[in-house]
Amino acid sequence: MAAHVYGVDLGTSNIKMFSLANNGIINQKNVIAIKNRSEIFSYGDPAFQMYEKAPENIKVSFPIKFGVIADIQNMEILFNCFYKEINGGKAVTGADFCIAVPTDITEVEKRAFYDVIMDAKVKSKKISVIEKPIADAVGVGIDVNSPNGHLLVNIGADTTEITVISLGGIVLSKLIKVGGNKLDEAICSVIRRKFNLIIGSRSAEIVKKELADAVNGDENEVCMAYGRNIVTGLPNAREITGALVHEGISDLLHQIVENIKVILERTPPELTADIYNRGIYLTGGSAAIRNLDVLIKQETGLEVNVADEPSESVIRGISDILSSEELVKLTYIPREKEYD
Protein backbone atom coordinates (compact mmCIF):
# COMPACT_ATOMS: atom_id res chain seq x y z
CA MET A 1 0.00 0.00 0.00
CA ALA A 2 1.41 3.39 -0.98
CA ALA A 3 2.26 5.92 1.71
CA HIS A 4 -0.13 8.47 0.21
CA VAL A 5 -3.55 7.05 -0.64
CA TYR A 6 -6.71 9.14 -0.96
CA GLY A 7 -10.40 8.53 -1.44
CA VAL A 8 -12.57 11.05 -3.28
CA ASP A 9 -16.36 11.47 -3.43
CA LEU A 10 -17.40 14.37 -5.66
CA GLY A 11 -21.03 15.09 -4.80
CA THR A 12 -23.37 17.70 -6.25
CA SER A 13 -23.59 19.54 -2.94
CA ASN A 14 -20.48 18.44 -1.04
CA ILE A 15 -16.99 17.21 -1.85
CA LYS A 16 -15.62 14.56 0.50
CA MET A 17 -11.95 13.55 0.61
CA PHE A 18 -10.21 10.91 2.74
CA SER A 19 -6.50 10.49 3.53
CA LEU A 20 -5.30 7.03 4.52
CA ALA A 21 -2.13 8.50 6.07
CA ASN A 22 -3.99 10.30 8.88
CA ASN A 23 -7.54 8.87 8.54
CA GLY A 24 -8.74 12.43 8.06
CA ILE A 25 -11.92 13.33 6.15
CA ILE A 26 -12.74 16.68 4.58
CA ASN A 27 -16.45 17.34 3.96
CA GLN A 28 -17.21 20.77 2.53
CA LYS A 29 -19.55 22.37 0.04
CA ASN A 30 -18.62 21.68 -3.58
CA VAL A 31 -18.72 25.37 -4.47
CA ILE A 32 -16.25 27.82 -5.98
CA ALA A 33 -16.34 31.62 -6.14
CA ILE A 34 -14.48 33.17 -9.10
CA LYS A 35 -13.76 36.91 -9.12
CA ASN A 36 -13.40 38.83 -12.39
CA ARG A 37 -13.67 35.57 -14.39
CA SER A 38 -10.21 34.26 -13.45
CA GLU A 39 -9.26 34.88 -9.80
CA ILE A 40 -10.13 32.22 -7.20
CA PHE A 41 -11.91 34.30 -4.56
CA SER A 42 -13.10 31.49 -2.28
CA TYR A 43 -14.11 27.83 -2.24
CA GLY A 44 -15.91 25.25 -0.11
CA ASP A 45 -18.03 26.32 2.88
CA PRO A 46 -16.92 29.99 2.80
CA ALA A 47 -17.89 30.23 -0.89
CA PHE A 48 -21.30 28.75 -0.12
CA GLN A 49 -21.91 31.60 2.34
CA MET A 50 -21.68 33.94 -0.68
CA TYR A 51 -24.19 31.94 -2.76
CA GLU A 52 -27.07 34.19 -3.92
CA LYS A 53 -25.37 37.13 -2.17
CA ALA A 54 -22.29 37.88 -4.31
CA PRO A 55 -21.89 40.99 -6.51
CA GLU A 56 -21.84 40.69 -10.31
CA ASN A 57 -18.05 40.40 -10.57
CA ILE A 58 -18.01 37.28 -8.34
CA LYS A 59 -19.55 34.15 -9.83
CA VAL A 60 -20.45 31.44 -7.31
CA SER A 61 -21.10 28.06 -8.91
CA PHE A 62 -21.46 24.33 -8.30
CA PRO A 63 -19.30 22.38 -10.81
CA ILE A 64 -21.47 19.25 -10.52
CA LYS A 65 -25.10 19.16 -11.66
CA PHE A 66 -27.43 16.17 -11.32
CA GLY A 67 -24.59 13.93 -10.18
CA VAL A 68 -22.31 14.55 -13.19
CA ILE A 69 -19.52 17.06 -13.78
CA ALA A 70 -20.82 20.09 -15.66
CA ASP A 71 -17.74 22.33 -15.26
CA ILE A 72 -14.59 20.21 -15.32
CA GLN A 73 -12.19 23.18 -15.19
CA ASN A 74 -13.59 24.53 -11.92
CA MET A 75 -13.91 20.98 -10.57
CA GLU A 76 -10.17 20.49 -11.13
CA ILE A 77 -9.44 23.77 -9.32
CA LEU A 78 -11.60 22.71 -6.38
CA PHE A 79 -9.98 19.29 -6.25
CA ASN A 80 -6.51 20.85 -6.14
CA CYS A 81 -7.58 23.23 -3.35
CA PHE A 82 -9.04 20.50 -1.15
CA TYR A 83 -6.19 18.10 -1.89
CA LYS A 84 -3.73 20.70 -0.66
CA GLU A 85 -5.92 21.36 2.38
CA ILE A 86 -6.12 17.70 3.45
CA ASN A 87 -2.32 17.58 3.29
CA GLY A 88 -1.91 20.59 5.56
CA GLY A 89 -1.04 22.96 2.73
CA LYS A 90 1.64 20.69 1.25
CA ALA A 91 1.76 19.75 -2.45
CA VAL A 92 2.05 15.94 -2.24
CA THR A 93 2.75 14.21 -5.57
CA GLY A 94 2.89 10.58 -6.69
CA ALA A 95 -0.16 9.51 -4.66
CA ASP A 96 -2.79 6.83 -5.33
CA PHE A 97 -6.44 7.83 -5.62
CA CYS A 98 -9.75 6.00 -5.46
CA ILE A 99 -12.74 7.94 -6.77
CA ALA A 100 -16.42 7.04 -6.43
CA VAL A 101 -18.56 7.29 -9.58
CA PRO A 102 -22.35 6.95 -9.94
CA THR A 103 -23.50 3.77 -11.68
CA ASP A 104 -26.39 4.89 -13.84
CA ILE A 105 -24.57 7.50 -15.96
CA THR A 106 -22.85 7.27 -19.34
CA GLU A 107 -19.25 6.12 -19.78
CA VAL A 108 -18.30 9.61 -20.99
CA GLU A 109 -19.72 11.11 -17.77
CA LYS A 110 -17.82 8.52 -15.72
CA ARG A 111 -14.64 9.41 -17.61
CA ALA A 112 -14.99 13.03 -16.48
CA PHE A 113 -14.61 12.00 -12.82
CA TYR A 114 -11.44 10.09 -13.69
CA ASP A 115 -10.10 13.01 -15.75
CA VAL A 116 -10.48 15.49 -12.86
CA ILE A 117 -7.68 13.70 -10.99
CA MET A 118 -5.74 12.68 -14.10
CA ASP A 119 -5.52 16.27 -15.33
CA ALA A 120 -5.05 17.89 -11.90
CA LYS A 121 -1.64 19.14 -10.76
CA VAL A 122 -1.03 16.21 -8.38
CA LYS A 123 0.98 13.85 -10.65
CA SER A 124 -1.04 10.86 -9.53
CA LYS A 125 0.64 7.46 -9.46
CA LYS A 126 -2.50 5.35 -9.80
CA ILE A 127 -6.20 6.20 -10.13
CA SER A 128 -8.77 3.52 -9.39
CA VAL A 129 -12.56 3.71 -9.49
CA ILE A 130 -15.26 2.32 -7.23
CA GLU A 131 -18.97 2.28 -8.02
CA LYS A 132 -20.63 4.69 -5.61
CA PRO A 133 -23.36 2.26 -4.41
CA ILE A 134 -20.69 -0.32 -3.51
CA ALA A 135 -18.77 2.23 -1.42
CA ASP A 136 -22.11 3.34 0.05
CA ALA A 137 -22.90 -0.24 1.09
CA VAL A 138 -19.49 -0.72 2.72
CA GLY A 139 -19.96 2.57 4.54
CA VAL A 140 -23.17 1.36 6.23
CA GLY A 141 -21.60 -1.92 7.28
CA ILE A 142 -22.89 -4.31 4.61
CA ASP A 143 -20.82 -7.37 3.68
CA VAL A 144 -20.82 -6.57 -0.04
CA ASN A 145 -19.04 -9.78 -1.07
CA SER A 146 -21.80 -11.98 0.34
CA PRO A 147 -24.32 -13.62 -2.05
CA ASN A 148 -27.15 -11.78 -0.29
CA GLY A 149 -29.12 -9.00 -1.96
CA HIS A 150 -29.22 -5.48 -0.49
CA LEU A 151 -31.24 -2.43 -1.55
CA LEU A 152 -29.68 1.01 -1.07
CA VAL A 153 -31.38 4.35 -1.59
CA ASN A 154 -28.97 7.30 -1.68
CA ILE A 155 -30.84 10.63 -1.72
CA GLY A 156 -28.36 13.33 -2.69
CA ALA A 157 -28.67 17.00 -3.63
CA ASP A 158 -29.82 16.65 -7.26
CA THR A 159 -30.39 12.91 -7.65
CA THR A 160 -31.56 9.77 -5.89
CA GLU A 161 -29.72 6.54 -6.74
CA ILE A 162 -31.63 3.32 -6.02
CA THR A 163 -29.47 0.21 -6.25
CA VAL A 164 -29.63 -3.53 -5.64
CA ILE A 165 -26.23 -5.10 -4.98
CA SER A 166 -25.03 -8.66 -4.51
CA LEU A 167 -21.63 -10.43 -4.61
CA GLY A 168 -19.75 -7.13 -4.81
CA GLY A 169 -21.57 -5.99 -7.97
CA ILE A 170 -24.57 -3.98 -9.17
CA VAL A 171 -27.64 -6.05 -10.03
CA LEU A 172 -30.05 -3.18 -10.70
CA SER A 173 -29.64 0.59 -10.56
CA LYS A 174 -31.84 3.59 -11.24
CA LEU A 175 -30.89 7.28 -11.02
CA ILE A 176 -33.74 9.78 -10.77
CA LYS A 177 -33.46 13.58 -10.82
CA VAL A 178 -35.09 14.17 -7.45
CA GLY A 179 -33.04 15.23 -4.45
CA GLY A 180 -32.59 17.84 -1.77
CA ASN A 181 -32.40 20.74 -4.23
CA LYS A 182 -35.75 19.77 -5.77
CA LEU A 183 -37.26 19.75 -2.29
CA ASP A 184 -35.85 23.25 -1.71
CA GLU A 185 -37.41 24.42 -4.99
CA ALA A 186 -40.75 22.93 -3.96
CA ILE A 187 -40.60 24.80 -0.64
CA CYS A 188 -39.80 28.07 -2.48
CA SER A 189 -42.74 27.44 -4.79
CA VAL A 190 -45.32 26.69 -2.08
CA ILE A 191 -44.25 29.74 -0.03
CA ARG A 192 -44.48 31.95 -3.11
CA ARG A 193 -47.93 30.60 -3.95
CA LYS A 194 -49.24 30.92 -0.39
CA PHE A 195 -47.72 34.24 0.71
CA ASN A 196 -46.50 35.99 -2.48
CA LEU A 197 -43.05 35.75 -0.89
CA ILE A 198 -39.90 34.96 -2.89
CA ILE A 199 -37.18 33.30 -0.81
CA GLY A 200 -33.75 32.01 -1.86
CA SER A 201 -32.68 28.39 -2.03
CA ARG A 202 -30.44 28.75 1.03
CA SER A 203 -33.41 30.02 3.07
CA ALA A 204 -35.52 27.15 1.74
CA GLU A 205 -32.85 24.68 2.87
CA ILE A 206 -32.96 26.13 6.39
CA VAL A 207 -36.76 25.82 6.43
CA LYS A 208 -36.46 22.24 5.18
CA LYS A 209 -34.00 21.25 7.89
CA GLU A 210 -36.19 22.75 10.62
CA LEU A 211 -39.67 21.69 9.49
CA ALA A 212 -39.58 18.99 6.79
CA ASP A 213 -41.48 15.84 7.78
CA ALA A 214 -42.22 13.05 5.31
CA VAL A 215 -45.39 11.83 7.05
CA ASN A 216 -47.03 14.67 8.95
CA GLY A 217 -46.99 18.42 8.77
CA ASP A 218 -47.44 20.09 12.15
CA GLU A 219 -49.39 23.36 12.08
CA ASN A 220 -47.90 24.29 15.47
CA GLU A 221 -44.31 23.85 14.35
CA VAL A 222 -43.13 27.09 12.77
CA CYS A 223 -40.09 29.05 11.63
CA MET A 224 -39.58 32.42 9.97
CA ALA A 225 -38.80 32.79 6.26
CA TYR A 226 -37.35 36.04 4.92
CA GLY A 227 -37.55 37.28 1.35
CA ARG A 228 -39.17 39.75 -1.03
CA ASN A 229 -42.87 40.36 -1.46
CA ILE A 230 -43.92 39.94 -5.10
CA VAL A 231 -46.66 42.58 -4.89
CA THR A 232 -44.84 45.39 -3.07
CA GLY A 233 -41.27 44.46 -4.03
CA LEU A 234 -40.24 45.12 -0.43
CA PRO A 235 -38.47 42.87 2.09
CA ASN A 236 -40.87 40.76 4.08
CA ALA A 237 -41.00 37.87 6.54
CA ARG A 238 -43.64 35.20 7.10
CA GLU A 239 -44.19 32.45 9.60
CA ILE A 240 -43.95 29.07 7.84
CA THR A 241 -45.64 25.99 9.30
CA GLY A 242 -44.59 22.37 9.11
CA ALA A 243 -47.90 21.61 7.38
CA LEU A 244 -47.08 23.98 4.51
CA VAL A 245 -43.61 22.46 4.05
CA HIS A 246 -45.10 18.96 4.05
CA GLU A 247 -47.59 20.07 1.37
CA GLY A 248 -44.72 21.33 -0.79
CA ILE A 249 -42.46 18.27 -0.61
CA SER A 250 -44.97 15.42 -0.33
CA ASP A 251 -45.29 14.70 -4.07
CA LEU A 252 -41.52 14.55 -4.58
CA LEU A 253 -41.02 12.16 -1.67
CA HIS A 254 -43.75 9.89 -3.05
CA GLN A 255 -41.97 10.02 -6.42
CA ILE A 256 -38.87 8.56 -4.74
CA VAL A 257 -40.99 5.86 -3.08
CA GLU A 258 -42.64 4.93 -6.40
CA ASN A 259 -39.22 4.46 -8.00
CA ILE A 260 -38.13 2.25 -5.09
CA LYS A 261 -41.20 0.11 -5.84
CA VAL A 262 -40.21 -0.07 -9.53
CA ILE A 263 -36.78 -1.44 -8.60
CA LEU A 264 -38.35 -3.93 -6.18
CA GLU A 265 -40.67 -5.17 -8.94
CA ARG A 266 -37.68 -5.80 -11.21
CA THR A 267 -35.56 -7.54 -8.55
CA PRO A 268 -35.09 -11.33 -8.91
CA PRO A 269 -37.18 -13.30 -6.34
CA GLU A 270 -34.22 -14.72 -4.39
CA LEU A 271 -32.74 -11.26 -3.90
CA THR A 272 -36.18 -9.92 -2.99
CA ALA A 273 -36.28 -12.43 -0.14
CA ASP A 274 -32.93 -11.14 1.13
CA ILE A 275 -34.13 -7.54 0.95
CA TYR A 276 -37.31 -8.48 2.84
CA ASN A 277 -35.20 -9.94 5.66
CA ARG A 278 -32.65 -7.10 5.81
CA GLY A 279 -34.70 -4.08 4.81
CA ILE A 280 -33.78 -0.99 2.81
CA TYR A 281 -30.65 1.06 3.56
CA LEU A 282 -31.21 4.82 3.38
CA THR A 283 -28.21 7.13 2.84
CA GLY A 284 -27.38 10.56 1.40
CA GLY A 285 -27.83 14.01 2.91
CA SER A 286 -31.61 14.12 2.46
CA ALA A 287 -32.00 10.82 4.34
CA ALA A 288 -32.04 13.03 7.43
CA ILE A 289 -35.57 14.27 6.65
CA ARG A 290 -37.79 13.39 9.57
CA ASN A 291 -39.92 10.25 9.20
CA LEU A 292 -38.70 9.52 5.67
CA ASP A 293 -37.92 6.00 6.85
CA VAL A 294 -41.46 5.74 8.24
CA LEU A 295 -42.97 6.81 4.88
CA ILE A 296 -40.92 4.25 2.94
CA LYS A 297 -41.86 1.52 5.42
CA GLN A 298 -45.55 2.41 5.15
CA GLU A 299 -45.45 2.27 1.35
CA THR A 300 -43.24 -0.82 0.88
CA GLY A 301 -43.80 -2.85 4.03
CA LEU A 302 -40.03 -3.17 4.47
CA GLU A 303 -37.85 -2.16 7.38
CA VAL A 304 -35.68 0.90 6.69
CA ASN A 305 -32.15 1.28 8.08
CA VAL A 306 -30.91 4.88 8.17
CA ALA A 307 -27.13 5.39 8.19
CA ASP A 308 -25.64 7.15 11.23
CA GLU A 309 -23.87 9.76 9.08
CA PRO A 310 -25.90 9.44 5.87
CA SER A 311 -24.10 12.21 3.96
CA GLU A 312 -20.68 10.61 4.57
CA SER A 313 -21.48 6.93 4.02
CA VAL A 314 -19.76 6.82 0.60
CA ILE A 315 -16.47 8.38 1.72
CA ARG A 316 -16.45 6.24 4.88
CA GLY A 317 -16.99 3.22 2.66
CA ILE A 318 -14.02 4.24 0.51
CA SER A 319 -11.89 4.62 3.65
CA ASP A 320 -12.81 1.07 4.71
CA ILE A 321 -12.11 -0.26 1.20
CA LEU A 322 -8.67 1.36 1.03
CA SER A 323 -7.83 -0.01 4.48
CA SER A 324 -8.70 -3.62 3.58
CA GLU A 325 -6.69 -5.91 1.29
CA GLU A 326 -9.86 -7.90 0.56
CA LEU A 327 -12.19 -4.96 -0.14
CA VAL A 328 -9.66 -3.05 -2.26
CA LYS A 329 -10.22 -5.74 -4.91
CA LEU A 330 -13.63 -4.12 -5.52
CA THR A 331 -11.89 -1.13 -7.13
CA TYR A 332 -10.74 -1.17 -10.73
CA ILE A 333 -8.57 0.86 -13.06
CA PRO A 334 -10.63 1.82 -16.12
CA ARG A 335 -9.17 1.02 -19.51
CA GLU A 336 -9.10 3.61 -22.26
CA LYS A 337 -11.34 1.57 -24.55
CA GLU A 338 -14.10 1.61 -21.94
CA TYR A 339 -14.42 5.34 -22.51
CA ASP A 340 -13.97 5.50 -26.28
Please check whether the two domains, 141-178+253-311 and 180-248, share a CATH topology.
Answer: no
* pLDDT score, position 217: 87
- 320-330 pLDDT, tens digit per residue, is 999 999 999 99
pLDDT (0 to 100) of residue 336? 58
Of 98-107, 261-270, 295-304, the one with minimum mean pLDDT is: 98-107
CATH, range 141-178+253-311: 3.30.420.40
In angstroms, the CA 263 to CA 220 distance is 37
Res 193 pLDDT > 70: yes
| C-alpha span between 164 and 295 (Å, rounded) | 20
What is the spatial distance between Cα 86 and Cα 23, in angstroms, rounded to a whole number? 10
CATH architecture type of domain 5-135+314-339:
2-Layer Sandwich (3.30)
CA dihedral over 15, 100, 177, 310, signed as positive or negative: negative
89-128 CB burial, b ≥16 within 10 A, e <16: eeebeebbbbbbbbbbbeeebbbbbbbbbeebebebeebb
Q: What is the mean pLDDT of the chain?
A: 93
Q: Do residues 212 and 289 lie in contact, with contact meaning Cβ atoms separated by under 8 Å?
A: yes
| pLDDT tens-digit map of 253-291 | 999 999 999 999 999 999 999 999 999 999 999 999 999
Q: What is the pLDDT of residue 139?
A: 96
CB 150 within 8 Å of CB 275: yes
More confident site: 1 or 120: 120
pLDDT in tens, 122-136: 888 899 999 999 999
29: pLDDT strictly greater than 50:
yes
Name the DSSP letter for residue 110.
H
pLDDT for res 337:
44
Q: What's the DSSP call for residue 156?
A: -
Give the whole-angstrom CA distance, residue 155 versus residue 281.
11
Look at residue 121 in the predicted model and tell me its pLDDT: 83
- Whether residue 129 contacts residue 6, with contact meaning beta carbons closer than 8 Å, is answered with no
Cβ count near 312 (within 10 Å): 20
Return the half-sphere exposure (C-beta side, CA atoms, 13 A cut-off) of residue 12. Answer: 22
Vertex 317, ends 316 and 322: CA angle to 5°? 100
In degrees, to the nearest 5, what angle opens at C-alpha 271 toward C-alphas 269 and 272? 60
Task: Return the beta strands (E) in 85-221 as ranges.
Answer: 96-101, 126-131, 150-155, 160-166, 169-176, 197-198
pLDDT at 122: 86
For the domain 180-248, what is the CATH code? 3.90.640.10
What pLDDT score was predicted for residue 156?
A: 95
Out of 88-102, 131-145, 227-241, 252-266, which region has the weakest mean confidence (pLDDT)?
Answer: 88-102
Parse the chain into domains and list their residue ranges.
5-135+314-339, 141-178+253-311, 180-248
Q: 133-147, 152-166, 211-225, 324-338: lowest mean pLDDT where?
A: 324-338
Residue 41: exposure state from Cβ atoms within 10 A (0-12, 13-18, ≥19): middle
Least Cα distance to 211 among 257, 243, 253 occurs for 243
Residue 200, pLDDT above cutoff 80: yes
* pLDDT on residue 3: 62
Residue 296 · residue 302 · CB < 8 Å: yes
Number of residues that make up the chain: 340
> For residue 340, is pLDDT > 90?
no
Residue pLDDT, tens place only, 41-92: 999 999 999 999 999 999 999 999 999 999 999 999 999 999 999 998 887 8
The pLDDT, as a whole number, for residue 1 is 45
